[in-house]
């Protein structure tokens, strides 16, 4: 990624590389927005609005106009632009000059079938919305299952109805508008060619490995953070009787292997950050705003690591975090606040029972945002401090008996004192 400073005076032109339908717009809002956030999807539609009537390209505009139009600062626009690039909805081209020039190419989203069968996008969506909502989304786009077993296919072919033409036009028209979709670019975590070459030919037929299969292997390695040796072992266990990699079996084996190595948890969950749509728009530099930004923009894994002075969190701590995120479906930023609160009031120790009791209370209060979590934690902390102060005051106010903390003379009593004691005791008989 090229590091270029974006300025308000820099100009841009929007070029449309696709055909955007109402169905595509719904896909961006329903499937992409939970991952990229509302600001990023708004940037996509705002750039689309700059196109001319033919929806092919726009006039040249300064970025200052985009800032005014969206009521956003340039850093927010740049961050949103990078999210569009990363998820395959936008390509950016740059030309340096006294005033720098940019070209923004817009691409269509993947259709629902492509999206849910893309392991990176489907995993990202699952991590952001949770299992229940994810399953609802899948069912919304699922095709109805009609039983055609008792029907015959009587559809006509082209040559059944039409005659061949005498002078065919075989010219290729490559510049016609079509539904172009951007690709998600991933930095490879494994050396795929080297790894595949180490699998014996009698077990795997390399000629049957398509570009699509290679791309899926790279995506799975990225999601589960597998190295060459781990991925090779899983692939060897996912080859069918025709010496071809069974992709469904490969996906299943990747998940099983990861769960076995990570105590049943799903991948990437502890590394996720607070979803964009649940973040607070920071407009000042107060201490509270800075804290909110920190809780929202780091993952629970990163937060725990920072609390440990850069040391990787323990397995037990990560299990507690995974429980909060996966089982209780708490938001990552809220989990960060909870961890910080527990460390503060519990002598820097994360006790599972203690964490669960607080988490249950926050769930009943429907805490979703970092600000809500900070407010409820602040109230609870004040209550604890008040109770502590009251206990200290009560302890101070209790009147001690004359004999408390005093050195008592243990010498033998005189005869007079003994007689007086007998007289006092006789009154209680």
Sheet of 11-16, strands arranged across: 61-62, 11-16, 101-106, 90-95
If residue 22 lies in a helix (H) or strand (E), which one and from where to where? helix 22-27
Please give the backbone phi and psi of residue 34, each rounded to the nearest 5 degrees, phi first. -60, -20
265-321 pLDDT, tens per residue? 555 455 566 666 666 766 666 777 788 888 888 878 788 888 888 887 777 787 788
If residue 94 lies in a helix (H) or strand (E), which one and from where to where? strand 90-95
The structure tokens 């401090």 sit at 385
Gap between the Cα atoms of 397 and 318, Å rounded: 45
- List C-alpha distances in Å: 217 to 109, 168, 220: 22, 42, 5
The structure tokens listed for 12 are 């841009």
Compute CA 103 distance to the chain's CA centroid, rounded to the nearest angstrom: 29
Task: Look up the pTM and report it.
Answer: 0.53
Q: Which pLDDT tens digits describe the chain residue by residue (429 residues)?
A: 566 789 999 999 999 998 888 999 999 999 999 888 889 999 999 999 999 888 888 999 999 999 999 999 998 899 899 899 989 999 999 999 999 999 999 999 999 999 988 888 888 888 778 788 888 999 999 888 888 888 998 898 888 888 766 666 667 666 666 667 776 666 666 788 888 888 888 889 988 888 888 888 887 887 677 888 888 888 999 999 999 999 888 888 887 777 766 655 555 455 566 666 666 766 666 777 788 888 888 878 788 888 888 887 777 787 788 778 766 778 888 988 999 999 888 888 888 888 988 999 998 888 888 889 898 988 888 887 776 666 666 565 555 555 445 554 555 556 666 666 666 655 554
Gap between the Cα atoms of 139 and 128, Å rounded: 17
Compute CA 341 distance to the chain's CA centroid, rounded to the nearest angstrom: 22
Contact 30, 277 (CB under 8 A): no
The structure tokens listed for 65 are 């106009």
């Amino acid at each position: 990624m090229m590091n270029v400073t974006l300025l308000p005076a820099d100009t841009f032109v929007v070029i449309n590389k696709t055909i955007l339908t109402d169905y595509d717009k719904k896909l961006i809002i329903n499937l992409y927005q939970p991952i990229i956030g509302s600001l990023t999807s708004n940037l996509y539609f705002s750039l689309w609005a700059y196109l001319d009537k033919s929806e092919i390209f726009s006039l040249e505009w300064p970025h200052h106009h985009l800032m005014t139009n969206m009521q956003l600062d340039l850093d927010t626009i740049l961050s949103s632009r990078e999210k569009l690039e990363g998820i395959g909805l936008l390509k950016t081209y740059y030309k340096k000059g006294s005033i720098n020039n940019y070209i923004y190419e817009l691409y269509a989203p993947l259709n629902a079938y492509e999206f849910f069968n893309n392991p990176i996008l489907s995993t990202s969506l699952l991590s952001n919305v949770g299992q229940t909502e994810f399953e609802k989304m899948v069912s919304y786009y699922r095709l109805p299952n009609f039983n055609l077993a008792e029907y015959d296919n009587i559809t006509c072919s082209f040559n059944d109805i039409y005659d061949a033409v005498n002078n065919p036009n075989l010219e290729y028209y490559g510049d016609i508008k079509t539904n172009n979709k951007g690709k998600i670019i991933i930095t490879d975590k494994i050396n795929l060619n080297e790894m595949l070459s180490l699998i014996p030919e009698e077990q795997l037929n390399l000629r049957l490995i398509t570009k699509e299969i290679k791309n899926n292997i790279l995506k799975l390695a990225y999601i589960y953070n597998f190295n060459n040796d781990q991925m090779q072992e899983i692939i060897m266990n996912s080859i069918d009787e025709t010496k071809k990699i069974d992709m469904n079996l490969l996906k299943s084996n990747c998940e099983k292997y990861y769960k076995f190595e990570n105590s049943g948890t799903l991948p990437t969950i502890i590394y996720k950050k607070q979803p964009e749509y649940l973040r607070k728009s920071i407009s000042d530099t107060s201490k509270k705003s800075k804290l909110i930004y920190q809780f929202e923009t780091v993952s629970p894994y990163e937060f725990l690591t920072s609390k440990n002075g850069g040391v990787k969190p323990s397995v037990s701590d990560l299990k507690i975090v995974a429980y909060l995120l996966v089982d209780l479906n708490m938001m990552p930023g809220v989990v960060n606040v909870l961890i910080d609160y527990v460390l503060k009031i519990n002598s820097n120790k994360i006790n599972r029972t203690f964490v669960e009791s607080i988490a249950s209370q926050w769930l009943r209060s429907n805490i979703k945002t970092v600000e809500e979590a900070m407010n409820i934690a602040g109230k609870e902390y004040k209550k604890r401090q008040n109770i502590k102060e009251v206990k200290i005051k009560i302890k101070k106010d209790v009147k001690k008996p004359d004999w408390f903390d005093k050195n008592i003379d243990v010498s033998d009593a005189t005869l007079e004192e003994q007689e007086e004691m007998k007289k006092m005791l006789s009154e209680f008989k």
